[in-house]
Amino acid sequence: MTQLLAARRGEITPAMRRVAEKEKVSPEFVREGVAAGTIVIPANINHKSLDPIGFGKGLSTKVNANIGTSTSFPDIERELDKLQVVLEAGAHAVMDLSTGGEIDKGRKRIIEESTIAVGTVPIYQAFLENREKRGSMISMSGEDLFEVVERHCADGVDFITVHCGVTLEVLGRLKQQTRITDIVSRGGSFLTGWMLHHGLENPLYEQYDRLLDICLKYDVTLSLGDGLRPGCLADATDRSQIQELIVLGELVDRARAKGVQAMVEGPGHVPLDQIAANIQIQKTLCKGAPFYVLGPLVTDVAPGYDHITAAIGGTVAAAAGADFLCYVTPAEHLGLPNMDDVREGIMASRLAAHAADLVKGIPGAMEWDNEMARARKNLDWEKQIELALDPKKAARIRKERNPENHEACSMCGDFCAMKVVAEYLGKETESC
């Protein structure tokens, strides 16, 4: 029994009740959203440490963080340290994108230690295992791919990114399309190489019902990946991207009919004035399925600051209806992120998510800002730090840059506007 099938039967599951409690909405609101497919609750039956979180319409905007080994940095202990940063920094999901070291062992440990939803991209491991066993990634078969998919799901992964929309028809359109960066999705590029080499259809598309059966067995949420997402502004919203999205919309329908939860992934690099249109197109073609976007990044020229370019785009996307933001770190386009990069990326995306939630009217969003405003008026530094998006950073800056027990801050010193106005108006500060 998946969350979706239970919701359609009128059943409010413990996971739905927990999501409702966190979101300050009624359990029935969550159940209706899950039944309609506009809310998903990634909750694999084998992920025992999970504290369920909902993603979708009417809920607060969520943030994902990526971790995982590479061939250059295969140490899983390093990634488990990053997981603790992810949890402490307040991300709502984590994806293990490992491509090096003991991938199975690392994934199991991440699932054991994570209280938030865990996602993976099984095709990475399927191709890498074939390279190790047979000397070529192209040697992978459909059976190899589905064996890895089931392995991930059986281990307790809550959602899987699968590039089902990269079809021979879509690739034919890509060949006719002039793109600067072609394909920047790693999974999309692996599949494209395999399909063009063998002249065969994408197994994830051709055997989609088999994929649905696996997800149904473990209640795994499909995250339908955008293998043709734009890798630069010039490639945004082109025919190849939209053709793939049309296919994904059809696959959302098939997943829902089967009782499998599904969300859809989106771009990528998108000019600021095209972001809202991208969200509207997705929501229309995919019938309101939760939308999971990478950024989007609004310029291509900011290596080292791409967490900021993504936060700008993420705010616009979420305000327009995107439900789930994949973080981007300062190391994007440059190298594997370290723990500081992970934290900065999460905070930038959480900031974008909250700014959008204020526009969406999400319960509790404006109340948080109002509490902070009152604390500032009262020069209540303890409360301000407690309410801060990143209390650790706020406390550190406050301590480092102000004299001990100084009521105002060193920016204004004796000329604190809050203090001066209160004195001249004869007002006493009030408690929150």
| Per-residue confidence (pLDDT) for residue 415, from 0 to 100 | 65
pLDDT in tens, 205-254: 999 999 999 999 999 999 999 999 999 999 999 999 999 999 999 999 99
Percentage with pLDDT > 70 across the chain: 95
265 belongs to an annotated ligand binding site: yes
Burial 154-177 (b: 16+ CB within 10 A, else e): ebbbbbbbbbbbbbeebbebbeee
pLDDT in tens, 132-177: 888 888 899 999 999 999 999 999 999 999 999 999 999 999 999 8
416 belongs to an annotated ligand binding site: yes
pLDDT at 78 over 70: yes
Name the band, by pLDDT with cuts 50, 70 and 90, for residue 178: confident
228 belongs to an annotated ligand binding site: yes
Name the band, by pLDDT with cuts 50, 70 and 90, for residue 407: low
pTM, rounded to two decimals: 0.94
- Domain architecture of the chain: domains with CATH: 42-360 (3.20.20.540), 365-424 (no CATH)
pLDDT at 432 over 60: no
| Per-residue confidence (pLDDT) for residue 420, from 0 to 100 | 72
| Per-residue confidence (pLDDT) for residue 1, from 0 to 100 | 86
66 belongs to an annotated ligand binding site: yes
User: What number is the average pLDDT over the span 272-295?
Assistant: 98
Give the closest residue to 391 by CA, choosing from 141, 60, 90, 17. Answer: 90
205 belongs to an annotated ligand binding site: no
124 belongs to an annotated ligand binding site: yes
Q: Are strands 221-224 and 159-162 parallel, antiparallel or unpaired?
A: parallel
Residue 280, SS3 per DSSP: helix
